[in-house]
């Protein structure tokens, strides 16, 4: 989620729609029972064993993949993922726009239960902060002395917007700031070598100051805006230096991420530090997700994504680019880029796919 003046009305309208839907039903289990959204938030990391190597998860992923076009073609569906039910059995989660579409979701596919979740639409948001989000004592929107921490406001000189510096990454010769394509490359439109700022222009009243430059756009993975596409990452890197960019969050964050990454697994406890909501904690509830994400340039379909849930807002506009790490271990898991209007559901790229694309590693502990 990136923040800018664009889509202000659309975002606020989405908030109102979500509140109306949420008041009717937080989420629905189509197999015939209802459960509180708080259950997902109570899941502990001790049970985090359900990754792609688990035989039952593998089977569920196979069924999901085989039926992905049919599932995504159902009315109101914006995504699917593999998760678990209360009994700890694999299910296919179906993300839908509103309560009215829940009854159109079948109970099973090839013997695997389908569970519908009322998330609303998923956005890589470019909109002002929703009133009521409590500001951190340390403001990630502020200007920071160089080297700047990770997890704070950043953006490209070409747009009055702001996202988050996810991490400092490195190759054999250089260091880079890692964030999203839609933060640094402006949805494929920013030229290479354009200047990258801290804070982003949104947080300086759209006034450019050369003293805020921390690097230049070095590379990005193009986003294909189509619901028939198979995007895997929304990511970009900016060439910088250790004099300009540090590798730890501000003091009210989780600190320095570990260099070693971990694979996402269902029930994994995670945290992030971002420009808008600072430090938040959540739980991985879905892997191998296929999600349609709304951008200014159109809708883009992403595959092999991670879904994070929190009973409180986990991600808000401006948090795009935040690094998803384990709680409490601080091992990188994903790169956050999208979520629903309430911020309770967040979408992340698997971090290993991001690092492999740019030939870099996390510059951490």
Q: What is the pLDDT of residue 22?
A: 39
Q: What is the pLDDT of residue 7?
A: 46
Distance set, CA 314 to CA 32, 187, 254, 346 (Å)? 28, 23, 15, 7
CA distance 168 to 165: 8
Where do runs of H (alpha helix) occur along 25-160? 38-41, 55-66, 68-72
Give domain limits for the chain. Answer: 1-365
Q: Which token pair is 255? A: 């600190």
Residue 9 makes CB contacts below 8 A (sequence gap 6+) with none
Complete DSSP assignment for 129-169: PPTTPPPPSS-TTS--PSSBPSSSEEEETTSSEEEE--EEE
Please tell me whether residue 215 adopts helix, strand or coil conformation.
strand
CA distance 205 to 202: 6
CA distance 33 to 255: 41
Find out whether 197 and 154 touch, Cβ atoms under 8 Å.
Answer: yes
Cα four-point dihedral sign 178, 181, 186, 188:
positive
CA–CA–CA angle 87, 93, 98 (5° rounding): 120
Residue 277 makes CB contacts below 8 A (sequence gap 6+) with 133, 313, 314, 315, 316, 319, 343
CA distance 329 to 307: 19
Find out whether 364 and 167 touch, Cβ atoms under 8 Å.
Answer: yes
Please count the other Cβ atoms lying within 10 Å of the Cβ belonging to residue 282. Answer: 27
Q: What is the pLDDT of residue 245?
A: 98
Q: Which token pair is 273? A: 């530090």
Q: What is the pLDDT along the chain (365 residues), one digit of tens a residue?
A: 776 645 444 444 454 444 444 333 333 333 222 233 333 434 443 444 799 999 999 999 999 999 999 999 999 999 999 999 988 899 999 999 987 777 789 999 999 999 999 999 999 965 454 445 554 579 999 999 999 999 999 999 999 999 999 999 999 999 999 999 999 999 999 999 999 999 999 999 999 999 999 999 999 999 999 999 999 999 999 999 999 999 999 999 999 999 999 999 999 999 999 999 999 999 999 999 999 999 999 999 999 999 999 999 999 999 999 999 999 999 999 999 999 999 999 999 999 999 999 999 999 99
Q: Please report how many Cα atoms fall inside a 13 Å half-sphere around the Cα of residue 347, on the Cβ side.
A: 34
């Amino acid at each position: 989620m990136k923040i800018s003046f664009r889509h202000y009305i659309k975002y606020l309208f989405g908030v109102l729609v979500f509140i109306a839907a949420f008041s009717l039903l937080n989420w629905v289990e189509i197999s015939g029972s209802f459960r509180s959204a708080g259950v997902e938030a109570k899941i502990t990391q001790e049970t985090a064993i359900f990754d792609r190597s688990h035989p039952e998860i593998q089977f569920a992923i196979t069924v999901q993949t085989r039926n992905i076009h049919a599932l995504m073609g159902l009315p109101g569906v914006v995504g699917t993922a593999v998760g678990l039910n209360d009994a700890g059995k694999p299910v296919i989660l179906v993300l839908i726009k509103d309560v009215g579409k829940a009854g159109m979701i079948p109970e099973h596919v090839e013997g695997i239960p389908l569970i519908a979740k009322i998330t609303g639409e998923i956005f890589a948001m470019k909109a002002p902060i929703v009133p009521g989000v409590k500001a951190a004592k340390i403001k990630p929107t502020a200007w920071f002395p160089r080297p700047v921490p990770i997890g704070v406001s950043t953006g490209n000189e070409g747009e009055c917007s702001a996202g988050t510096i996810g991490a400092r990454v490195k190759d054999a010769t250089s260091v880079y700031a890692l964030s999203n394509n839609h933060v640094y490359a402006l949805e494929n439109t920013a030229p290479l070598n354009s200047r990258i700022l801290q804070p982003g222009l949104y947080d300086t009243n759209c006034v450019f100051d050369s003293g805020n430059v921390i690097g230049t756009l070095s590379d990005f993975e193009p986003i294909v805006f189509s619901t028939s596409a198979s995007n895997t990452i929304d990511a970009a890197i900016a060439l910088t230096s250790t004099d300009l960019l540090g590798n730890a969050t501000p003091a009210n964050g989780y600190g320095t991420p570990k260099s070693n990454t971990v694979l996402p697994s269902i029930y994994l406890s995670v945290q992030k530090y971002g420009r808008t909501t600072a430090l938040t904690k959540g739980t991985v509830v879905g892997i191998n997700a296929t999600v349609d994400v709304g951008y200014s340039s159109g809708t883009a379909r992403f595959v092999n994504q991670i879904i994070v849930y929190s009973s409180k807002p986990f991600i808000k506009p401006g948090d795009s680019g935040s690094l998803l790490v384990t709680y409490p271990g601080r091992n990188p898991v994903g790169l956050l880029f999208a979520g629903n209007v309430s911020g309770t559901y967040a979408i992340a790229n698997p971090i290993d796919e991001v690092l492999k694309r740019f030939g870099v590693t996390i510059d951490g502990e």
